[in-house]
Amino acid sequence: MSATSDNTSGKSSGWIKSTCAYCGVGCGIEARPKTNGQLEIRGDHEHPANFGRLCSKGLALGETVIPDGRLLHPKIGGVRTDWNTALDHVAKSFEDVIKEHGPEAVAFYVSGQLLTEDYYVANKLMKGFIGSGNIDTNSRLCMSSTVAGHKRAFGSDTVPGCYSDLEQADMVVITGSNMAWCHPVLFQRLKAAKQQRPELKIVVIDPRATDTCAIADLHLPVKPGTDVALFNGLLSHLATSQKVDESYVRQHTEGFNQALMCAMEDGSDPATLARTLEVEQQDLKTFFDWYARTDKVVTLFSQGVNQSTSGADKVNSIINCHLATGRIGKPGSGPFSLTGQPNAMGGREVGGLANTLAAHMELDNEHHHGLVSEFWKTDSLTTKSGLKAIDLFDAIEDGRIKAVWIMATNPVVSLPDADKIQRALRNCPLVVVSDCIADTDTTRCADVLLPAQGWSEKSGTVTNSERRISRQRRLLPTPGEGKPDWWIMSEVAKRMGFGHAFDYLHEGDVFNEYVRMTGLDNSMVAGKTQRDLDLTGLADMSHRDYAGMAPQQWPLVQMDRKIEHKRLFADGRFFTPSGKAQFVAVRHRQPASRLSSDYPLSLNSGRIRDQWHTMTRTGLSARLGAHLPEPYVSVHPADAEVFGLTHGKVAALSNEWGYARIRVDVSERVNPGQLFMPIHWTGVMASAGRVCTLVSPDTDAISGQPEFKFTPVAIGPWEYQSEALLLSPGVIDTSDLDYWVRQKVAGGYLYRIASSETPKQLEARLKPHCLGLTASQGKQLDFASPSKGQFRFAVIDGIELKGCYLVAPNLQEQDLDWVQNLLHEPVNEMVQRSILTGIAEGKLARGKTVCACKQVGRNTIEQAIREGDLESVSQISECTGAGTGCGSCVPELQEILDESLAYSL
């Protein structure tokens, strides 16, 4: 039977089904092109990941397909060229390096943003034909500890469960994940389950009190890096309270006694354990008791577990508890890793990591090596693993790697010790970058730029966190000369003499080859294939079937039209040589870096609700930019006092690797001694907002994953004399500004500026810029109070604001959120008065954006609560519309309501 949807092109009434570009939930969307070149977006009610729901990022996808900043043509040395010249140049340069220095002198650094077809071709070219393992992916930064943990326990990189397990569980443990912001739609599914069944217990384990805690029955704010001790404590508790499923352990596992012995050393004494974790002993007991007595438990984990120098051990400590209780492969039970990127899983399937082969076959397995060599018809297949991301960039820095091709990722922002990455690329003889965006911190280091298709132009497949493969479909024509990544690589491969193996005419040909590869010597033995990943049920698909393919969860030995929720390991058989799952004996270890008197605080990092990765796409949406427009560091009030920090002012952070200057957010959501900073801001978007300049390059010895969640830093105030907001229709030259952040707003950009100069000196810098924005007949609004350091200036053409600025010694105490909307407001008298006085009037006075979907501000919400005596979030939603879009702002609405009610008491 065909695996297609009813309509074979995935289309109905002009709506085209595709998949969201962002997180690993992998939500299905439906898109319809609009006459202005943008897209209408809605959730796909038939997609089993989201059943129609979308979060704020998914809903804003249509706003991010604008042509602003696209890389349109190939370039060599910054000069436009044609595709033939660029491809010849890349192929010849790689060949020259390989001829002179061998295949280990070249590398690819790829991305979980690539489609599976792209990933497959990249891996095949590097490992199979160039003959080096030097291809690694930015998924190394988010998922490799899980891959290592899965392989150690199961003998395969298998996520055992599916999303519906969250709804069927009686207890969900969320550890190292701010799901409410990072996997919002899955969080909404869990929240709905909790509303339906309040008895469903939810425990959040996180050093920070995040929005995810809004649905928690218990929050354990453990000390960063202590997860192994916690789960070892749990394993000890299960053993001492006789909750181990002895029959399951005996029949289906190995290594229990050794794992338990280690666990007891870490966690048999509750008082000591509570001190190690820095949590209340009673809370610990509650968690252990709930876990012990609940049969159906899902443990969700993500970057807080993976991004650690003991990440793989943390994963295994979680899996150990599930194996000990036999809670795996059953409805509502299992360890469940949440993948960060939309196609982190697809990359893992086709060998995007330096230490895997393809189709879940292994580099160090001779039999697999033979199968793949024969299948690809190559004698060059590498026999050894390549360099993992951090080691790979070290090799670029020290000159062992002389040519690197970076695809769809921005390592100058996202890799630890980011300034070193920038230096390494600047010194590398050949840096090729394929991207759809022209100006990123990484494209600035490129010798060759290749324009790739963007999300809305690409066609292929992605795999989400529950092993579900979905089609990403072409929605819009490609601007300029952008090409599919698989095509670009195939063309280079042909020019390197490998044409016979890269003669693809269509992305469906690549997919079909990958599907057939999963069947290599993978026949059924006693009702089970020898490897977990089997897609052979899709092998007979035509291009037409591929075009209309409905979401499919693997393994897929046979095709079925109905939506399935498949679990693995229900039979208690695993992919280890013995067929039994392996307990892994692990001990708690401190993070690699230590706090010191020079660097006394630990810096944590993570995502925010409305941005994605390095903001190259979400940064294009004015709506998404409004929620948290400036990079910030969250600091506990006690630390703020000790280190002289004031909420809203600028802090300077530093350590041996780098520095940052960002706004201070004094908040009790972080514990004393800890800081939090978002990952998103780049050197293109801010003067010094890249968290990774500070992050240590220490990695997990097993997985190679860096420790993004614990970096010792120093912090102190950065003193400045003046601040400004500047609105401009275009990008401005910021080279002479001390501190600035760029935010996309409707009609242009808003710059948030702070300066060590006086207000008068700063205004003297900004005025020429504004004056240059219009013809001489434009009207000027000019207010100056030099004694108070207040300057406000605007240039108006008819009813159109061309640009403006507000300068003052301190702008943080004023409500100025309204300024970001001015470029597309008709400039009436009210607007002019607001600019001249610096005080919003009328509808401008809605306050800081809380609901990005419906554009509802804080002042509007507070006013509605006050005037309408509102007592619930649903009343706020009814009255203001806030929270009726994606629902991601509901925890914030609850917070505002709580504060307002407390204030009115």
- Contacts with ligand SF4 by CB under 6 A lie at 20, 22-23, 25-27, 50, 54-55, 57-58, 183-185
- Compare residues 26 and 128 and give the one whose CB is closer to ligand SF4: 26
The Cα–Cα gap between 162 and 282 comes to 32
Q: How far is the CB of 15 from ligand SF4 (least distance, A)?
A: 16
CB atoms closer than 10 angstroms to residue 73: 18
Least distance between ligand SF4 and beta carbon 578 (Å): 38
The string of DSSP codes covering 687-730 is SS--GGGTS---B-TTT--B-TT-EEEEEEE---SEEEEEEESS
Peptide bond between residue 411 and the one before it cis (omega within 30 degrees of 0): no
Assigned token pair, 89: 């140049």
Least gap, CB of 164 to ligand SF4 (angstroms): 16
Q: Minimum CB separation from ligand SF4 for residue 682, in Å?
A: 19
- Which residue, chain included where needed, has tokens 């150690």? 152
Q: Is the Cβ of residue 20 or residue 535 nearer to ligand SF4 in the bound state?
A: 20
Q: Answer yes or no: are the C-beta atoms of 652 and 718 closer than 8 Å.
A: yes
Tokens matching residue 316 = 């295994």
Cα–Cα distances in Å, from 534 out to 158, 518, 583?
12, 5, 25
Least separation in angstroms between CB 789 and ligand SF4:
43
Is 308 or 888 the residue whose CB approaches ligand SF4 more closely? 888
Nearest distance from C-beta of residue 342 to ligand SF4, angstroms: 7
Among residues 675, 654, 646, the alpha carbon closest in space to that of 598 is found at: 654
Query: 3-state DSSP call for residue 674?
Result: strand
Q: Which is nearer to ligand SF4, 28 or 508 (CB)?
A: 28
Min. distance of Cβ 604 from ligand SF4 in angstroms? 21
DSSP 3-state of 202: strand
- Taking the complex as a whole, the smallest distance from the CB of residue 20 to ligand SF4 amounts, in Å, to 3
Choose between 25 and 126: whose C-beta lies nearer to ligand SF4: 25
Residue in this structure with the two tokens 């002042």, named with its chain if needed = 859
d(CA 329, CA 24): 21
Query: What is the sign of the dihedral through the CA atoms of 229, 235, 237 and 239?
Result: negative
Instruction: Please say which residue, 52 or 331, places its beta carbon nearer to ligand SF4.
Output: 52
Q: Look at residue 281 and give its three-state secondary structure.
A: helix
Identify which of residues 132 and 414 has a Cβ nearer to ligand SF4 in the complex. 414
Nearest to 758 by CA among 788, 793, 783: 788
Amino acid of residue 284: L
- Shortest distance, position 83 Cβ to ligand SF4, whole Å: 32
Contacts of 281 (CB under 8 A, 6+ apart): 270, 271, 274
* Residue 26 or 885 with smaller CB distance to ligand SF4: 26
Tell the smallest beta-carbon distance from residue 483 to ligand SF4 (Å).
25
Whole-number minimum distance, CB 55 to ligand SF4, in Å?
3
Tell me how crowded residue 529 is: count the other CB atoms within 10 A of its CB.
18
Measured from the CB atom, the residue of 25 and 741 that comes closer to ligand SF4 is 25
> Which residue number, 43 or 155, has a Cβ lying nearer to ligand SF4?
43
Cβ proximity to ligand SF4, 453 vs 470, nearer residue: 470
Helix%, strand%, coil% for the chain, nearest 5: 35, 20, 45
Find the shortest distance in angstroms from Cβ 408 to ligand SF4: 17
CA-based torsion, 166, 172, 175, 179: positive or negative: positive
Rank residues 25 and 640 by Cβ distance to ligand SF4 and give the closer one.
25
Compute the least distance from the CB of residue 17 to ligand SF4, in Å.
Answer: 14
CB nearer to ligand SF4: pick between 28 and 233: 28
Smallest separation (angstroms) from ligand SF4 to the CB of 794: 37
Rank residues 184 and 347 by Cβ distance to ligand SF4 and give the closer one.
184
Token pair recorded at residue 120:
């497959």
Residues 106/401, Cβ–Cβ less than 8 Å: yes
Question: Long-range pairs for 5-11 at CB < 8 Å and ≥24 separation?
Answer: 5/46, 5/548, 5/549, 5/550, 7/548, 8/544, 8/545, 8/547, 8/548, 9/547, 9/548, 10/471, 10/473, 10/547, 10/548, 10/549
Distance CA 472, CA 462 (A): 7
Asked whether the beta carbons of 157 and 150 are under 8 A apart, the reply is yes
Shortest CA distance to 417 belongs to which of 207, 630, 639, 593?
Answer: 593
Residue nearest to ligand SF4 (CB): 58
Question: Which is nearest to 73 in space by CA: 88, 89, 85?
Answer: 85
Least distance CB 297 / ligand SF4 (angstroms): 23
Nearer to ligand SF4, 186 or 831 (CB): 186
Given the complex with ligand SF4, which of 56 and 512 has the nearer CB atom? Answer: 56
How buried is 845 (Cβ within 10 angstroms: 0-12 exposed, 13-18 middle, 19+ buried)? middle
- CB atoms closer than 10 angstroms to residue 6: 10
Of residues 624 and 822, the one with the C-beta less far from ligand SF4: 624
Determine the Cα–Cα distance for residues 746 and 820; give it in Å rounded to an integer: 8
Q: Closer to ligand SF4 at the Cβ: 26 or 161?
A: 26
**Residues 458, 464, 468: CA angle, nearest 5 degrees:** 95
Task: Please classify residue 852 by burial: count the beta carbons closer than 10 Å to its beta carbon, then call 0-12 exposed, 13-18 middle and 19+ buried.
Answer: buried
- Provide, rounded to whole angstroms, the least separation between the CB of residue 187 and ligand SF4: 8
Q: How far is the CB of 804 from ligand SF4 (least distance, A)?
A: 34
CB of 258 to ligand SF4, least distance (A): 39
Is residue 554 within 8 Å of 533, Cβ to Cβ? Answer: yes
CA distance 733 to 48: 47
Specify the DSSP class assigned to residue 844.
G
Q: Nearest-CA neighbor of 531 among 367, 381, 384?
A: 367
